[in-house]
Structure 1
Amino acid sequence: MPSKAELRRMRWSLYWTGALSRRLIGRLLAGDSGDRLQPRWLPRRWVTVVYGDIDPEAGVGVLWLVSHPGHENGTEHTVFFERCGEEWQSTGSASGGAADENPPRRRPAVGSTGQLGMIELNGGGGGLSRAHLLRNPDGWTSAPWVGSHTLRVAAEVDHLLVGGRRIQVPEDGRLIVAWKSPPSTVRGGVRPRIAAIGPGGAELSVISPRDRMDSYTWSLLTE
């Protein structure tokens, strides 16, 4: 059972992530880049906004935040939001995992330390669509899955294709993508195909929906 101090930290975490995410959702909807969301008034040593992604057609989005980056108590936070009727609302958050002490300033090339493949698939999470359940309180079996994955992308990649969406890769190569899967018997839904595209338009590597490694890394292992 959580202690009183742990409960206070949990309540405070829910409060500040909710308040901040409402501002950031508005900026994403206004067209701001996912890696340019850090408010000027918010010191990065307190909270760093790593990335935000929104899929207006699917009606889902996600934010990647880090509180106290570089400290022993630093924590990563994932905040989900969905279009509920005419409004976008925060629909859940998850905290956990130590924050990266030394995040890269620029993207490492493929094969470098910490960047084996073209696309490194890191943490992920999600749940049943809250927007669907608000409309259909008894629709648990028909609810889509709303998910996200954090990625680390090599310097050779110009942009990603996540399903049919084009996403520009930020300078440091770290990003998070949101996706929605149709109702599925598979726990966690089915992630869309993720393709790494080079500056000339060539497809460099792919992570298929059920794979954990990209095709570039698989080819290295088979060789």
Structure 2
Amino acid sequence: MSADIDTHTGIGAVWLLWRPKSTRAQEHTTFLEWHDERWHYTGGSSSSPAEDDPPDADVLEIAGCGGSVSHARRLGAQHFMSPDPYLNCAEIHLGPDVGHLLVGNRRIDAPKRRKLIVAWLSPHSAAVDRPVIVAFGRDGTELSRIGPHDILDTHTWARLEKESQETDC
């Protein structure tokens, strides 16, 4: 299980694995919003898990993403024609040397299982934009980063470039 609550924007995401050792195991992701002094369910999804083993990431890997239109914002909106913000999440797999992440300006400690979910709010017009995610070692050194539109982190790109140069020689 992993949960991420962004108290500044009032949104959150919860990821859990139900019946983890069963052949009928299910992954569930749920989106939540804070509105009128309580949390509201905004949406979610379920699927069969790809695996239950710890992730095999070198440093940082985006394993999946999801999102939902903000419903709670609509409840208090003055202008019903304005587009609603978008709640986003990503499942992240971490390598063994990662001590913590910065997701935008929020620090998140690396969990033991090396899998976590992160949530953020974006304007409706930029629903796929993810904040910059930076992985740090336990000593505070930057290990890798992935930008809003990147599919691979900087560590993986450097490794692939090195491997490519070695095969060219």
TM-score bucket (shorter structure) = 0.7 to 0.9
Q: 1:206 aligns with which of 140, 145, 148?
A: 145
- The structure in which a higher percent of residues are strand is 2
CA distance in 2, matches of 1:140, 1:148: 25
Question: How high is the TM-score relative to the length of structure 1?
Answer: 0.67
CA distance in 2, matches of 1:209, 1:88: 27
Task: Determine if contact 2:42/2:68 at 8 Å carries over to the other structure.
Answer: no
User: Unaligned stretches of 5+ in structure 1?
Assistant: 1-49, 109-113
Task: Determine if contact 1:69/1:99 at 8 Å carries over to the other structure.
Answer: no
CA distance in 1, matches of 2:77, 2:133: 31
Aligned residues: 162
Q: Does 1:164 align with 2:115?
A: no
Map of 2:4 onto structure 1: 53
SS in 2 for 1:98: coil
Task: Determine if contact 2:31/2:68 at 8 Å carries over to the other structure.
Answer: no
CA distance in 1, matches of 2:113, 2:47: 22
Q: Percent identity at matched positions?
A: 39
Map of 1:215 onto structure 2: 154
> What letter matches 2:9 in structure 1?
A
Q: 1:179 aligns with which of 97, 100, 120?
A: 120
- Cα offset for 1:166? 0.3
CA distance in 2, matches of 1:182, 1:60: 13
Question: Considering only aligned residues, what root-mean-square deviation do their CA atoms show, in Å?
Answer: 1.9
Question: How high is the TM-score relative to the length of structure 2?
Answer: 0.87
User: Unaligned stretches of 5+ in structure 2?
Assistant: 163-169
Task: Determine if contact 1:148/1:178 at 8 Å carries over to the other structure.
Answer: yes
**Which sits farther off after the overlay, 62-71 or 91-100?**
91-100
Q: Does 1:73 align with 2:24?
A: yes
CA distance in 1, matches of 2:110, 2:25: 25
Map of 1:196 onto structure 2: 135
Q: Does 1:148 align with 2:148?
A: no
